[in-house]
Amino acid sequence: MKYDFHSHSTFSDGTLTPTQLLQRAADKRVDVLALTDHDNTDGLAEARMVAKENGVQLVNGVEVSASWRKRLLHIVGLGIDPENADLASGLAQVQCARLERAQRMGKDLERHGVEGAYEGAQEYCQEGLLSRTHFARFLIDRGYAKDMKQVFKRYLVNGKPGYVSTEWAALEDAVSWIKGAGGVAVIAHPARYKLTLTKMKEMLADFVDCGGEGIEVIGSGHNDDDIRLTAALATDYGLLASVGSDFHDPENGRRELGHVAALPEQCKPIWQHNALALQGAH
């Protein structure tokens, strides 16, 4: 079976609607797909309606923005109940932080000569929440940069005009919301945080102490060395191993939907977790 436990739709910073995403999953022969939009679950109802007709098992998911020692981490929740009240309340808090950040980003970019940045970014945001990706698309189309790599480097990373430091959900809260909603909490793309090995181990220890149960071994931006290291850490910390493309955009994506490498043999796969209730998982 082909699994992909990390993807985005127009309800966050993806460019495909949930319907289009499920159709693409079917075209790419993905058997099990998790829709994990940033800080909201609003696209899951539409995805659920079309999953069966496309022959894809859908896993209810979300990607929660969390803070750990003033660093942003992304915590994927898999197998959640999107109607859970505590989860919904927690996500509402994070959504408020996202809106405030976007407004500040727009003002900061205006001060640095980018006119209409906030309104321009909104044009690229359909059903979802304004994110740095929407500002990036606006800046690229207005000629401020040639591609995603350049626009983030020039405008949207720490120390640049469009970067706004934000206090996200505490790590323990993000994990608690996911577990309280019946899900399993997974550290997304750990290699992208650029932590030293010591800091990575400290972060994973805190994550496990909070009740975290999984880690993306096959994740966006992971090379072979990252995969080997993350697989070893998964074993050391008793974490289940997840795979995810972090798919956003068929035209300008980091990785195609469902194009994920096989897990190293020593890993225990996330799809064996009871919270996911998958048919035919092995």
Domains of the chain: 3-91+167-276 (3.20.20.140), 92-156 (1.10.150.650)
Which pLDDT score, from 0 to 100, does residue 185 have? Answer: 99
Q: What is the pTM of this model?
A: 0.92
Which pLDDT score, from 0 to 100, does residue 127 have? Answer: 78
Which pLDDT score, from 0 to 100, does residue 216 have? Answer: 98
> For every one of its 282 residues, what pLDDT tens digit does the chain have, with 9 covering 90 and above?
999 999 999 999 999 999 999 999 999 999 999 999 999 999 999 999 999 999 999 999 999 999 999 999 999 999 999 999 999 999 999 999 999 999 999 999 999 999 999 999 999 987 778 899 999 999 999 999 999 999 999 999 999 999 999 999 999 999 999 999 999 999 999 999 999 999 999 999 999 999 999 999 999 889 999 999 999 999 999 999 999 999 999 986 668 999 999 999 999 999 999 999 786 666
Which pLDDT score, from 0 to 100, does residue 281 have? Answer: 66
Which pLDDT score, from 0 to 100, does residue 135 have? Answer: 96
Three-state secondary structure readout of the chain? CCEECCECCCCCCCCCCHHHHHHHHHHCCCCEEEECCECCCCCHHHHHHHHHHHCCEEEEEEEEEEEECCEEEEEEEECCCCCCHHHHHHHHHHHHHHHHHHHHHHHHHHHCCCCCHHHHHHCCCCCCCCCHHHHHHHHHHCCCCCCHHHHHHHHHCCCCCCCCCCCCEEHHHHHHHHHHCCCEEEECCHHHHCCCHHHHHHHHHHHHHHCCCEEEEECCCCCHHHHHHHHHHHHHCCCEEEECCCECCCCCCCCCCCCCCCCCCCCCEHHHCHHHCCCCCC
The CA distance from 257 to 4, in Å, is 7
Which pLDDT score, from 0 to 100, does residue 279 have? Answer: 64
Which pLDDT score, from 0 to 100, does residue 255 have? Answer: 84
Q: Which residue has the tokens 């909201």?
A: 40
Which pLDDT score, from 0 to 100, does residue 253 have? Answer: 60
CA atoms within 13 A on the CB side of 270: 36
